[in-house]
Structure formats: structure tokens, C-alpha cells
Amino acid sequence: MSKIVIIQHPEAFGIRQSWLDEAAITGQQYIQKPFWYMNEETGQTYYDLFGCIGWPTEFSDKREASAGYIAIVGAVRPKGDGANPQEAKFQLLAEMEHLDVPTLLQGILEMRKEYGFGLHPELLHSFFGDPERFITTLALKNEVLMRRDGGEKNTILVSPPDDFYTERIFDTYVRSLRSVLVQGNTRLFFGKQNEILKTRIREFKQGDPAVLAVGGLVHTMLSQCMWMDHMRENAYVVEDGIDRDAANY
């Protein structure tokens, strides 16, 4: 059962239109979405929630494989006015590790259900990670989900993080991850029960699935400010009204 609920601004259409008009006049790049999410157990609110996966490493005759890793990270929406949404802090909400790929995929299904999957069409539908590993295993899992649910809406998608296909991605993602852990300017926080990533980042071992997963997600969040709407993508909205998906929640 989900612990997350979706909350819509009481005047979603009007407030979004005013944000769009203001952004167009002032040249702002991003605007807030007129809805957000809340954890009913804690009261904490989030602009948006995102998932990531780091696949298990390959077995070799020199070392054992490292367990794969999945996690959900929230862009925290602070209470009260005055905070800059573009500078939202991040919170690691849930994580899991396992060597077995089908177990990881089942973990995604359970984890995303707990954190509100289905409340909005885009919420946790895609996890950031390597889309080219374990393609057959993922396809077989999605085939079962499509037969069971009668469509693709509940399938698991894996999308590459920003800069995934460039050289030295581990170095890039480690640097992005370290940038949000700088003492005195910390932007990524850990939940009380989340120790896996906290343990892994003490060493930053090359190719570590947990570091790749969260590092890639954080790198993408820093690059795109994904919890807000980009003005360029919503230029039509000024004339045509707000996005109907957003208005209906």
C-alpha cells in the first residue's frame, strides 16, 4: 500500500498560468508544477520522486560480483514560502541491493508501489540506469506484467542518466554525488534506515552499482531540475491552458 498521496494546488489552473506569465516576462527557465507529493506517515512533502538502478557487476575469476542496487530519491519541498525550488534538497527514501536481477526487478515493483506509482502517469514509471544490460530478463518481466495488467502502463522502463554514453561516466557521477555531500553545503540526505549507499560511498570503488545508480540520478537531477517544468517544453501552455494531466491531479 502506498504511503504517498498527491496534493494539488487549490487553484491549479490559475496559479500555473500566473507562473507561466511571470516566467515569460522575467526569462525564468523553470516553473513549479501545480501539484506535489506527501508522505502520510511523516508529513514530508516532495516536488517529485525518482528511481534509479545499478545492475550487478559481472562475475570474474578475480573477484565476486557486486550486488545490484535500486533506490528512490525525493526532491524535498520545504514547508512555507521563500525557498527556491531549483535548489531543492534531495532525500534517499528507500534502497535495496541484491545479486539476483529478477529479485531487483521485483523490488522495483514493490518499492514504487509503496512510493505512489500510479498517482501520476510519470511518477516512477522509469528508473534511471543502464538500459542495455539484462534486456532479456527485463523484457520477460514486462511481458508478464503486460499479460497480467492488459497493457504497458505498469511495465518497468529503464532510462539512461545524463551523459551516460560519454567516457569516464563513473568519474562524472562520483563528482556529482560528492558535490551534494559537501560538509556545510549538503544537499543529499539519508533516511534513518538507509545504510547501503552510506557504506558504499566511504570507498567509491570503481563501477560500484550503488554509486553509479544514485550518482547518475543526482547528476541528471542537477542537470535538468526534473521536478520542475521547463519553459521551453511548455511554451504552448500560455495560449492553450495548462497541461491537462497536471490539472486533473
Q: Give the domain CATH number at 168.
A: 3.30.420
pLDDT of residue 113: 96
Domains of the chain: total: 1
Look at residue 248 and tell me if it is in a domain.
no
pLDDT of residue 213: 97
Look at residue 249 and tell me if it is in a domain.
no
* Range(s) of the domain holding residue 167: 4-241
Look at residue 123 and tell me if it is in a domain.
yes
Residue given cell 538507509 in the structure block: 194
The closest alpha carbon to 218, from 91, 131, 113, belongs to 91
The closest alpha carbon to 187, from 221, 234, 224, belongs to 221
Whether residue 139 has pLDDT greater than 90: yes
Instruction: Of 55-69, 85-99, 217-231, give the range with the top mean pLDDT.
Output: 85-99
pTM of the full predicted structure? 0.87
pLDDT tens digits, one per residue of 158-173: 999 999 999 999 999 9
pLDDT tens digits, one per residue of 217-245: 999 999 989 998 876 654 433 333 334 44
Q: Kindly give the interhelix angle for 209-224 and 169-179, rounded to the nearest 10 degrees.
A: 70
